[in-house]
């Protein structure tokens, strides 16, 4: 059995507090070798969710992107290619800086939904892995 890959977000916040951007790195589960780095800026205080959002049998990555002011949901293919980007999820100035992400079949229709919440309030549900239209 092949060990699963490892998905991590890395940022320099402790070394450079003004740098609130992170990046996703995907590592080989057996060796720890780098498979790829996703160059899109990622909000470092939200752990990405991993799951098959397009029913192709291969896990995708859903993460909170960050441009320095606004945060938004982003989806990436298994190879790191960007699938889609939502409109703004929340502005960091609101104090809603902690996110939880989930990929699950919430309505039991066989297709996954992506859910994001912040400060214990569900703020978005994206149905069937499709790009949100908001």
**Cβ atoms 71, 88 nearer than 8 A:** yes
Give the E-state strand segments of the chain in sequence order. Answer: 6-11, 22-27, 34-42, 49-51, 60-66, 70-76, 82-91, 99-104, 113-118, 121-126
Q: How far apart are CA 9 and CA 41, in angstroms?
A: 10
Name the nearest CA neighbour of 131 among 57, 77, 92, 75.
75
The per-residue pLDDT for 50 is 93
Main-chain phi, psi angles of 65, to 5 degrees: -80, 160
Q: Is the pLDDT reported for residue 114 higher than 80?
A: no
Q: pTM for this structure?
A: 0.81
Tell me the per-residue pLDDT of 39-75, one tens digit each, with 9 for 90 and over. 999 888 788 999 998 889 999 999 988 877 777 888 9
């Amino acid at each position: 059995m092949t060990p699963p890959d490892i998905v991590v977000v890395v940022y320099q916040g402790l070394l450079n507090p003004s740098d609130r951007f992170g990046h996703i790195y995907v590592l080989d589960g057996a060796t720890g070798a780098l498979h790829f780095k996703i160059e899109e800026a990622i909000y470092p205080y939200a752990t990405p969710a991993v799951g098959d959002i397009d029913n192709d049998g291969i896990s995708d990555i859903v993460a909170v992107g960050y441009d320095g002011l606004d945060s938004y949901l982003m989806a990436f293919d298994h190879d790191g290619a960007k699938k889609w980007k939502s409109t703004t999820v929340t502005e960091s100035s609101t104090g809603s800086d902690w996110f939880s992400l989930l990929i699950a079949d919430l309505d039991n229709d066989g297709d996954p939904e992506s859910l994001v919440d912040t400060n214990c309030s569900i703020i978005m549900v994206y149905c069937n892995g499709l790009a949100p239209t908001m």
